[in-house]
Amino acid sequence: MKKALARCRTRSAGTASPFARARMIHPAADAGVGSPAPFVRQIFAVAAIEGEEKLTVTALGLYRCFINGVRVGADLLTPGWTCYDKRLSFQTYDVASLLKAGDNVIDIWLADGWYRSQLMWGADPIFNCWGDKLAALAEISNRSGVVVATDSFWQSGLTPIRKSGIYLGEVYDAREEGAPADKGCSVIAFDPTVLVAHESNAVRELVPLAEVRSWRDAEGRTIYDFGQNAAGYASLVATGEPGARLTIDHAEILDGDGGIDNANMRTAAARIEYVLKGGGDEAYRPHFTFQGFRYARVAIAGDARIVSIASVPISSAIRPRGAFVSGNALVNRLVENTAWSLRSNFIEVPTDCPQRDERLGWTGDAQVFAPTACYLNDSHAFLRKWLRDVIADQRADGAISYVSPDPTRMQPQGFPGFFGSAGWGDAICVIPWVLWTHYGDRVVLKETLPAMVRWVDFLWSISDGPIVSTPRTIGARGFTFGDWLQPSGTSEKPLPTTGDDFVATVYLFISASLAARAAEVLGDKRVAARMRQRAGTVRTAFQREFIASSGRLVYDDQTSYALSILHDLIPATLLPAAARYFKEAVARTGNRIGTGFLGTPALLPALVKIGEPALAATVFLQEGAPGWLYQVKSGATTIWERWDALLPNGRAFSSGMNSFNHYAYGAVCEWLFQSVAGFRPDADEPAFRHVFFEPTIIAELGSVSAHHDSIVGRVEAAWRVKGANVIYDVTLPADSRGTLILSPSYADVAVDGKRRRRADRLPLGGGRHRITFRLSQTAAASRAERQRLTNVSSTWRSEGRDG
């Protein structure tokens, strides 16, 4: 098949249209949401191929384009997902190789996609979110001008796709292939100022996953296990009689009785139906949908059989940039699981999960995961594009929506007040700063600063001098999800041990501080001073409200200590006492994790910060629930939404809200890179031009090796432990510089063979360095110590105090 190359031009919304003549056309064949997918067609003559013919194309709905029967490009789910009413992406392809002198035919298939298929869950699904009419806008041009452009003279007809939807799946009847274009098209009103060139790479297929085993269930259907949970679709080759029907259902887990369990997909049918045309092998992959699955169950009605089947993962995350490997296979699998959850949930927007009736751009999930996403993948353009959607969804009073693109902004009836949660909306301050730190992107700071300030002002407006008060009813102004899914409380709005007001106030502090720093980078002194002053006021009030004079926090739990210690909210004089209480809070849960979405990324860094790396290691490495490695030991191949999504008996915790592919808890990988392997960028010299190396040696891991391909080159760090001796090898890009910070407990430090007297900040130049030092105890001793702490966990468990 000839290839058309995708090219991305940059253009911001509001500038001149990239279309000289094309009009947005609606196919008369389109009968509305849930009906067969239509196509629009034109036959056009080309006198001679100049070699620079380009197709510029977009749609209301999803599109796939064919020229002379050959698919244009390999992009999926185009034009992508944005706040369509304000921003609509278009793509540009070189198509000279697909054209011929004489008559040519262009077909554009259209489908409901995010534009009008169901969004939001069961009780209040939103259909026709951005509109109820599918439409296409396309133009082929060359140096001499426009070759063909959509207008009212195009024809329309129906594709073999009888039904399709993001959650629904796809029904494809191969007997309907080649249907005529027997209807017309009409030009509809369209504002070209919303057009933007696709701002990140399009979604693409990844390497297919082969079936690892298959079996028949009680009803004779075949279940295929692809060995890996992922977002994508099954690709199959089948053969059989015309009219025979294959029905494919998808699941992340099995039910324990040889069947699949997909109850957790809720109202997402996530079903593919394929009707054979007969006459030989028929290859098929869905066009306008994706599912989150590891298992596919195929039922066959009529005379047909599967010749081959594979799972094809798809993702926007197609540029891996980092890896972390250690001497512990479970930890390695955890990192791999995180990378899979990243791929599965970076599909046009950063989503919570890829399988159930959500798949939405939840801001809180992205907020906690962004640093990990930047270590593992080139996430720059992807997150920058999404931030533009977040800004487009920002409400007049500065509130940031819970999800973006936000369907409830378009249709608020079922979800009034779906915006304004602290910890979620803070994505608008946290993520630009992450992009600045990792990629040195000043433009993103400039674009987002006004929205950051408006968000801080919003939080301020719901604060009361300036402790943020948080109503408990979802949708009420200032409601926050808090430390969502802490391992305590019920599954609905869990009652975490930390206070929602506490977490919201910490986030007001974080966001005001980041807005101040962003303004400083941009040289906006006035905004910087105002935001600094805000942050200062919050810190003072926070200390008065939430810290007892003993150093104990009024919310005496892991998340509260972790967040306030990590963000320097505890006065130095009280820190030793607070650290003691923090350790007690960890001990009370049997040295297991006690944090939800917001506390999790902070817990281990905060324990290291108070000088308790062994305790951090114990919490991290323990293998029971709640804990990261529990999931891995239970066979997880992606990160779970809940610590106990699968119970020790192998059954699902519940079917209501129980995703097996939710990246939030994978945010611990940031800690593995920056604290365990020990390298992190410096916001003062961003994009790894200056790198801090500060390893936390967890002797039980034996060895660790990590790298990250930054925009200035590869950064590497690897250590191995022999007895009490450590060899730490690091590599910096040629033009970068580094600073080595070693714990005062590490002795006999030598850098590149030269003994160093003091172990605090040592400068490193570009290139490779070998650092050696001695731990205060041998690996064996630290293993014994950890064993003791782990025993505490088991005692605590067996006494049944895990509520």
Q: Is 640 in the site for ligand BGC (CB under 6 A)?
A: no
* 415 counts as binding ligand BGC under rule CB under 6 A: no
Detail the DSSP E strand segments found in 211-345.
213-216, 222-240, 245-251, 253-254, 260-261, 271-275, 282-284, 291-301, 304-315, 322-326
* 164 Cα distance to chain centroid: 24
Nearest distance from C-beta of residue 796 to ligand BGC, angstroms = 28
Is the CB of 304 or the CB of 664 nearer to ligand BGC? 664
Which residue, 383 or 657, is less far from ligand BGC as judged by CB? 657
Rule CB under 6 A: is residue 154 a binding residue for ligand BGC? no
Q: Closer to ligand BGC at the Cβ: 313 or 364?
A: 364
Our CB check for ligand BGC shows the closer of 362 and 719 to be 362
The one-letter code for the residue type at 603 is L
Q: Hey, what are 440's tokens?
A: 């040195």
Residues 339/345/349/352 CA torsion (nearest 10 deg): -120
- Cα distance between residue 646 and residue 648, in whole Å: 7
Candidate segments 88-96, 295-303, 359-367, 616-624, binder of ligand BGC by CB under 6 A: 359-367
Member of 94, 282, 365, 524 binding ligand BGC (CB under 6 A): 365
Percent of the chain that is helix, strand, coil (3-state, to 5): 30, 30, 40
Q: How far is the CB of 358 from ligand BGC (least distance, A)?
A: 5
Q: Are 544 and 589 in contact (CB under 8 A)?
A: no
Q: What is the DSSP letter of 673?
A: I
Hey, is 339 helix, strand or coil? helix
Letters for 294-333 (x = contact with ligand BGC by CB under 6 A, - = none) are ----------------------------------------
Please measure the distance between the N-terminal and C-terminal CA atoms of the chain and give it in whole angstroms: 59
**Chain centroid to CA 742: how far?**
33
> What residues does 136 pair with on adjacent strands?
25, 59
Q: Of these residues, 358, 612, 670, 700, which one is catalytic?
A: 358
Task: Report d(CA 313, CA 397) in Å as an integer.
Answer: 40
Q: Which of residues 454-493 bind ligand BGC (CB under 6 A)?
A: 481, 484
Tokens 């190396």 label which residue? 693
Of 106-114, 160-168, 357-365, 613-621: span binding ligand BGC (CB under 6 A)? 357-365
Closest distance to ligand BGC from the beta carbon of 341 (Å): 12
Of the listed pieces 35-43, 124-132, 157-165, 362-370, which binds ligand BGC according to CB under 6 A?
Answer: 362-370
CB of 404 to ligand BGC, least distance (A): 12
For residues 412-425, one letter each, b for 16 or more C-beta atoms within 10 angstroms of the residue's C-beta and e for the rest, the string is: eeebebbbbbbbbb
Q: Which is nearer to ligand BGC, 640 or 773 (CB)?
A: 640
User: Binding ligand BGC by CB under 6 A: which of 364, 596, 613, 678?
Assistant: 364
* Measured distance CA(155)–CA(138) in Å, rounded: 14
> Does the protein bind ligand BGC through residue 358 (CB under 6 A)?
yes
Closer to ligand BGC by Cβ: residue 364 or 440: 364
User: Binding marks (x or -) toward ligand BGC, 647..686, rule CB under 6 A?
Assistant: ----------x----x------------------------
The answer to whether the beta carbons of residues 81 and 31 sit under 8 Å apart is no
Q: Hey, what are 204's tokens?
A: 């693409």
Size of the site for ligand BGC (CB under 6 A): 10
- Asked if 352 touches ligand BGC (CB under 6 A), the answer is yes
Q: Which is nearer to ligand BGC, 112 or 352 (CB)?
A: 352
641 catalytic? Reply is yes
CB of 263 to ligand BGC, least distance (A): 16
Instruction: Determine phi and psi for 113, rounding to 5 degrees.
Output: 50, -150
Residue 123 CB, nearest approach to ligand BGC (Å): 13
Is 358 assigned a catalytic role?
yes
C-alpha to C-alpha distance for 447 and 388, rounded to whole angstroms = 8
Task: Identify residue 527 by its one-letter amino acid code.
Answer: V
Residue 60 beta carbon to ligand BGC: minimum distance, rounded to whole angstroms: 27
Q: How far is CA 324 from CA 378, 504, 648, 742, 777, in A?
A: 16, 33, 28, 20, 25
Q: Which residue number, 300 or 360, has a Cβ lying nearer to ligand BGC? A: 360
- For residue 407, give the H/E element and its range: helix 407-410
CB of 662 to ligand BGC, least distance (A): 6
419 binds ligand BGC (CB under 6 A): no
CA distance 604 to 621: 11
CA distance 314 to 209: 11
The residue annotated as part of the active site, out of 139, 170, 641, 700, is 641
Q: What's the burial of 51, exposed, middle or buried (CB within 10 Å: 0-12/13-18/19+)? A: exposed
Q: Please, what is the minimum distance in Å from the beta carbon of residue 535 to ligand BGC?
A: 25
* Residue 607 neighbours by CB under 8 Å, 6+ apart: 562, 582, 586, 613, 615, 616, 619
Minimum CB–partner distance for residue 558 and ligand BGC (Å)? 19
- Pattern 81-110, ligand BGC, x by CB under 6 A: ------------------------------
For the CB of residue 539, give the shortest distance to ligand BGC in the complex, in Å: 26
- Token pair, residue 778, equals 């041998």
User: Scanning the structure block, which residue is given the tokens 């999790």?
Assistant: 600
The Cα diameter of the chain in Å comes to 86
Print the binding letters for residues 540-579 with ligand BGC: x by CB under 6 A, - otherwise.
----------------------------------------
User: Looking at 77-85, 156-164, 356-364, 765-773, which segment touches ligand BGC (CB under 6 A)?
Assistant: 356-364
Residue from 353, 453, 607, 677 binding ligand BGC (CB under 6 A)? 353
Contact criterion met (CB below 8 Å) for 666 and 422? no
Please identify, using beta-carbon distances, which residue of 335 and 664 lies nearer to ligand BGC.
664
Tokens 């959650």 belong to residue: 167
Exposure string (b/e) for 720-742, b if CB count within 10 Å is 16 or more?
Answer: bbeebebebebbbbeebebebeb
Residue 102's SS3 state is strand
56/118 with CB nearer ligand BGC: 118
Q: Which is nearer to ligand BGC, 78 or 511 (CB)?
A: 511
Stretch that binds ligand BGC, among 63-71, 336-344, 350-358, 443-451 (CB under 6 A): 350-358
Binding mask 25-44 for ligand BGC (x = CB under 6 A): --------------------
- For ligand BGC, give the closer residue by CB, 139 or 365: 365
Q: What are phi and psi of 247, to 5 degrees?
A: -120, 125
User: Does residue 362 touch ligand BGC according to CB under 6 A?
Assistant: yes
What amino acid is encoded at 630 in this protein? Y
For the bound state, the minimum distance from the C-beta of residue 536 to ligand BGC, rounded and expressed in Å, comes to 30
Min CB(342)–ligand BGC separation in Å: 14
Instruction: Using the rule CB under 6 A, give the single segment among 6-14, 110-118, 361-369, 723-731 that binds ligand BGC.
Output: 361-369
Q: Which two tokens stand for residue 718?
A: 């690897």
Q: Residue 271 or 662: which CB sits closer to ligand BGC?
A: 662
Task: Round to whole Å and give the CA distance between 454 and 394.
Answer: 9
Task: Give the footprint of ligand BGC on this chain (CB under 6 A).
Answer: 352-353, 358, 362, 364-365, 481, 484, 657, 662
Which residues are known catalytic residues?
A: 358, 641
